Structure 1
Amino acid sequence: MSDEIKTTNFIHDIIDADIAEGRHQTIVTRFPPEPNGYLHIGHAKAITLDFGTALKYGGRCHLRFDDTNPEAEDIEYVNAIQEDIKWLGFDWGEHLYWASNYFDRMYELAVALIKKGKAYVCHLSSEEFKDYRGAPTEPGKEPPGRKNSIEENLALFEKMKNGEFEDGACVLRARIDMTSPNLHLRDPAIYRIKRAHHHNTGDKWCIYPMYDFAHCIEDSIEGVTHSMCTMEFEVHRPLYDWILEELDVFRSHQFEFSKLNLTYVVLSKRRLLQLVNEGYVTGWDDPRMPTLCGMRRRGFTADAIKKLCEVVGCTKYEGITEIELFESIIRDDLNEHSLRAMAVVDPVKVIIENYPEELEENFELPNHPQQEELGTRTVPFSKELWIERTDYMDDAPNKFRGFTVGREVRLRGAYLATCNSVEKDADGNVTVLHCTYDPETKGGSAPDGRKVRSTIHWVSAKHAVDAEVRLYDRLYTVENPLGDKEKDFKDFINPDSLETITAKLEPILAQAAPGTRFQFERVGYFCADKDHTPESPVFNRTLTLRAPRKK
């Protein structure tokens, strides 16, 4: 058993018992995404459980694309899914599979069910069949065609395969029990006609297996021992077991766990696609999206996402996790691993009157206050600086930590400086602070031992880099955007979820590689965007330094 994954849960307890009783020697799991969209934070829980379980028990986890619905699938999604899984730190090795590779075998097994009298061709539409299926508290009725002979059904299914029926004209149904309290056992459709070009099989097939029929067969063919699904598939498990038992093939077993749900987040792929198609976001990787590529672009770390999944755990309890917990985990991770830099997002000019006009100095500042191994960086200093507008206040109280006229403040790592006067525009907004500095305080400390409580960050105006900075916030204004049945979830989109500004950055930030994370000191956590270049720097705000107060 691997020492890498030490967490345990009820599924691992089952696996421990299976191994102890000799039911399995090698544990095989799978992650089976449909290539019809990008992975989101909810998928991360399934990925960490599927791959993490295989790692824990020294087994293997298959990546299998469940490509049984060609109309909605795209190779773009296939590539993105693989990239996201690898970003999270998992690898399937040689075990990459496609449901479509098993289409021939699935067809053979469907024929085998017909020959056993366990499947038949039904010409009812899906709406018409609902009348026959009935309700959970009432038995269904036997649909037309259920008593057709095996020979008739074999011939009809052959015609379906050969394209002799129009799309939707008929389906192949499993013949189970029209009186079962579980509606999924009331003769579910297992094959339908769909004339659509498939990325893998081309135009070979005009019939495709339904998910419930295909999924268990895929697991069986691959020898999956523990097939883990979210709780909505619990009612499908009897059908999963029935198909494998009737076909007399390797019996994989399905186990269900609760989804990961977060406040202020919508995880429906259909709704996420709406946001993309209707222009509410810039794409699947918009940093406001809960997709893994969006979170990566915003600056969230793979370790923080995996930590959230570990903290939430694997249970059958359908709860909802507060977004503040996730953000706290991210902040802890970023605080430990992010490089430090100085940036001014709402700039006000400072002129140091007694600093020589032609003088420029360089100060060595640590890249991380607690990690000397991360080294230092060179930060230029000159007569004119930029500071944050919020670091000046007229008639400031003693607890205020910035400039006010007559107060001495420490410019981080540089000098002590005192504000003597300010300039304001016609609206009363401060535009320039006129200050003097003490040349004897180089490095930011006074040789006479005088104490200065306030330390602020700054950027040399002469060397500053102008950068586009995107201030991202939560995409929705309410904890549960799907909770009001009278409104559309898009009614709760936060109009202030993105503010774009021009900020003043210390020059080294222009050279950052896309994806590099920083703590802009006293401002927040930021990440160089994928479009960031030295000539056109772009940074995304990952999170503020501290959690906002709840309203």
Structure 2
Amino acid sequence: MTSSDTTAAPTNFIRNRILKELEAGQYDEIVTRFPPEPNGYLHLGHAKSIVLNFSLAEEFGGYTNLRFDDTNPAKEEQRYVDAIKEDVAWLGFDWQNECYASDYFETLFEYALHLIDNGLAYIDGQDADAIREQRGTLTEPGTPSPDRDRDPAESRDLFKRMRAGEFEDGAFVLRAKIDMAAPNINLRDPVIYRIRHKAHPRTGTAWCIYPSYDFAHGQSDAIEHITHSLCTLEFEDHRPLYDWLIEHLPVPARPHQIEFSRLNLDFTVLSKRRLTRLVDEGYVSGWDDPRMPTIAGIRRRGFTPDSIRHFCTEIGVTKSESIIPFGALERNLRDDLNARAPRRMGVLRPLKLVLTNFPEGETEWVQAANHPQNPDMGTRKVALTRELYIEADDFMEEAPKKFFRLKPGGEVRLRNAFIIQCDEVIKDEAGNVVELRCSFDPDTRSGQPGADRKVKGTIHWVSAEHAVKAEVRLYDRLFNVPHPAGDKERDFVEHLNPDSLEVLEDARIEAGTETARPGEFFQFERLGYFVPDPDTTTEKPVFNRAVTLRDTWAKLEKQLRQG
């Protein structure tokens, strides 16, 4: 999309600002960046930022850089870099340049010397506790460091010796010299360089001093000629420091930081610290556990890039904090998959059903539409035999009046086939129902005189002979309260939903479905939308339920919010 085609995109305050700036001739090209820290996996909050940054640049004919903020070697790993790149590409976006803050370490070092030489930075020999104590409070000004007036020449010498590795961790820091009485605590001589004798994933042992995020971020934006540095509201108080550094350094460009509200989603947590704890303490199987709100997790669960992009666009971009219902995320997936997911039949909790008047040893092939609303998707043949499996929930021995599925003496239609009647219920010694014996009405086959005979219930089924055994994993909300992290009295992990995962090892799926691979999706009729898990093999198909057919949580969520 070019800048002349702007009516189709949803509007927001950032887009409106860019439109005005372009009309005023302030920019020839819009350049944005997505700057993740490679210390964990991306989550849905990052997806909102990715969609915003890449979409705006694309709309106005510009581009986006993918820049890794790799200024903390203690927590960064190459596997996170690889995962982030995979996630951004999966969402459907291409970056113009792959950049790293570490690419600019030499330039940033020179910028730090520039501040020192101009009396705008100094070396402080106090420990972290002393510096923290001197910062003051929201109502009281800070106290100047005894090193604040250190001679610039001495600070330059010490800074170079810090780089040379002469001092141990914590011996000195470099602080910007701004205003210890500033109302904004971020301007009270912030630390911009620390000693850290830790090998870096990309630069090895070349450096033992590393810039702070606040120092590296704005200068990296400037070096890359970013026009709009878009970040979430928690960085709003950091913008004066961002602007101060840009103003006092010989940077090649003047980027502008703009803040927007972060994504808050109920029944989950979107904090990298909390997500890391869930992984490290074994509450989930890993970063790509399908219950996790990571992009890797929702991809494995069965979410599509289109559904995530549409969700991020739908919730909008504002300055106001709000909490989005998890159901809105699921609805976008339902809408996407309902339009294009092929239909198949699967039985999650199989109950054997024998058609007593169907010939033994014979197979009848019935025609079934791959998508009832899309004839272009064609049809398939499904095996129908004397012995079938139906869903155990579709039979009730003592059924209430409005139970329109199978019951003793009752009739239902087998989907794509004919009407059957339950004649006999077989139980084991413990009294459990193990088999139903039914008869079918041949006149209710398609094309027969009774094909249009109406019954109130239609159920799905699979052939016992032809169906394939599969493991099915049913996923639900990871937490059982809307705001698990907001409970001040209890640890958020105490609100984990014990029913967030149910594994069914004896499910049966329609023959042919087992050859599907991760990324392919199906609607198992009447049950929900399913995708093969990466654990699936030829010998053991494994399917994940991505989402149910209906929002079964909507009523409960409303009750929880009301009280």
Tell me the residue number matched to 1:546.
550
Tell me the residue number matched to 2:517.
513
CA distance in 1: counterparts of 2:537 and 2:452, whole angstroms: 44
Q: TM-score, normalised by structure 2?
A: 0.95
Match 1:380 to one of 369, 378, 383: 383
CA distance in 2: counterparts of 1:161 and 1:330, whole angstroms: 51
Asked if structure 2 preserves the Cα contact closer than 8 Å seen for 1:415 and 1:445, the reply is no
Q: Does the alignment pair 1:533 with 2:537?
A: yes
CA distance in 1: counterparts of 2:500 and 2:424, whole angstroms: 37
- Counterparts in 2 of 1:111 and 1:405: CA distance versus 1, 3 Å: same
CA distance in 1: counterparts of 2:249 and 2:449, whole angstroms: 84
Tell me the residue number matched to 2:457.
454
Tell me the residue number matched to 2:29.
26
Deviations 1:333-386, CA, capped at 9 Å, x for gaps? 221121111111111110011111021111221111111111222211110000
Match 2:118 to one of 111, 116, 119: 116
Q: Does the alignment pair 1:37 with 2:20?
A: no
SS where residue 71 of structure 1 aligns? coil
Asked if structure 1 preserves the Cα contact closer than 8 Å seen for 2:45 and 2:263, the reply is yes
- Counterparts in 2 of 1:370 and 1:273: CA distance versus 1, 3 Å: same
1:9 corresponds to which letter in structure 2?
N
The equivalences for 1:313-324 within 5 A come to 313-324=316-327
The equivalences for 1:314-393 within 5 A come to 314-393=317-396
Deviations 1:148-167, CA, capped at 9 Å, x for gaps? 11111011101111111110
What displacement does 1:397 show? 4.4
Structure 2: any 5+ residue segments left out of the alignment? none
- Counterparts in 2 of 1:198 and 1:80: CA distance versus 1, 3 Å: same
CA distance in 1: counterparts of 2:24 and 2:412, whole angstroms: 70
- Counterparts in 2 of 1:90 and 1:448: CA distance versus 1, 3 Å: closer
The equivalences for 1:66-145 within 5 A come to 66-93=69-96, 95-145=97-147
Tell me the residue number matched to 1:205.
207
CA distance in 1: counterparts of 2:260 and 2:243, whole angstroms: 18
Asked if structure 1 preserves the Cα contact closer than 8 Å seen for 2:390 and 2:461, the reply is yes
What displacement does 1:446 show? 4.9
CA distance in 1: counterparts of 2:23 and 2:344, whole angstroms: 54
2:507 corresponds to which letter in structure 1?
A
What displacement does 1:45 show? 0.5
Deviations 1:487-538, CA, capped at 9 Å, x for gaps? 1111111111111112011111111122211111111111111121232100
- Counterparts in 2 of 1:143 and 1:448: CA distance versus 1, 3 Å: closer
CA distance in 2: counterparts of 1:34 and 1:139, whole angstroms: 32
Deviations 1:165-215, CA, capped at 9 Å, x for gaps? 110111100000000000000000000001111111111000000000000
What displacement does 1:332 show? 1.6
CA distance in 1: counterparts of 2:363 and 2:452, whole angstroms: 26
Asked if structure 1 preserves the Cα contact closer than 8 Å seen for 2:410 and 2:421, the reply is yes
CA distance in 1: counterparts of 2:125 and 2:248, whole angstroms: 24
CA distance in 1: counterparts of 2:201 and 2:397, whole angstroms: 66
1:92 corresponds to which letter in structure 2?
W
What displacement does 1:395 show? 4.5
Tell me the residue number matched to 1:416.
419
Greater shift, 501-510 or 288-297, is seen at 501-510
SS where residue 485 of structure 2 aligns? coil
- Percent sequence identity is 53
Match 2:297 to one of 294, 297, 309: 294
What displacement does 1:444 show? 8.4
- Counterparts in 2 of 1:387 and 1:206: CA distance versus 1, 3 Å: same
Match 1:60 to one of 63, 68, 73: 63
CA distance in 2: counterparts of 1:244 and 1:284, whole angstroms: 37
Greater shift, 367-376 or 221-230, is seen at 367-376
SS where residue 380 of structure 1 aligns? strand
CA distance in 1: counterparts of 2:192 and 2:240, whole angstroms: 15
The equivalences for 1:127-526 within 5 A come to 127-249=129-251, 250-443=253-446, 446-447=449-450, 449-501=452-504, 502-526=506-530
Asked if structure 1 preserves the Cα contact closer than 8 Å seen for 2:470 and 2:507, the reply is yes
CA distance in 2: counterparts of 1:479 and 1:446, whole angstroms: 54
Greater shift, 96-105 or 401-410, is seen at 401-410
CA distance in 2: counterparts of 1:288 and 1:474, whole angstroms: 7
Structure 1: any 5+ residue segments left out of the alignment? none
1:504 corresponds to which letter in structure 2?
R
CA distance in 1: counterparts of 2:528 and 2:135, whole angstroms: 57
CA distance in 2: counterparts of 1:287 and 1:472, whole angstroms: 7
SS where residue 72 of structure 1 aligns? coil
Q: TM-score, normalised by structure 1?
A: 0.97
Asked if structure 2 preserves the Cα contact closer than 8 Å seen for 1:515 and 1:530, the reply is no
- Counterparts in 2 of 1:336 and 1:444: CA distance versus 1, 3 Å: farther
- Counterparts in 2 of 1:285 and 1:449: CA distance versus 1, 3 Å: closer
1:66 corresponds to which letter in structure 2?
D
CA distance in 1: counterparts of 2:447 and 2:406, whole angstroms: 15
Greater shift, 521-530 or 220-229, is seen at 521-530
SS where residue 507 of structure 1 aligns? coil
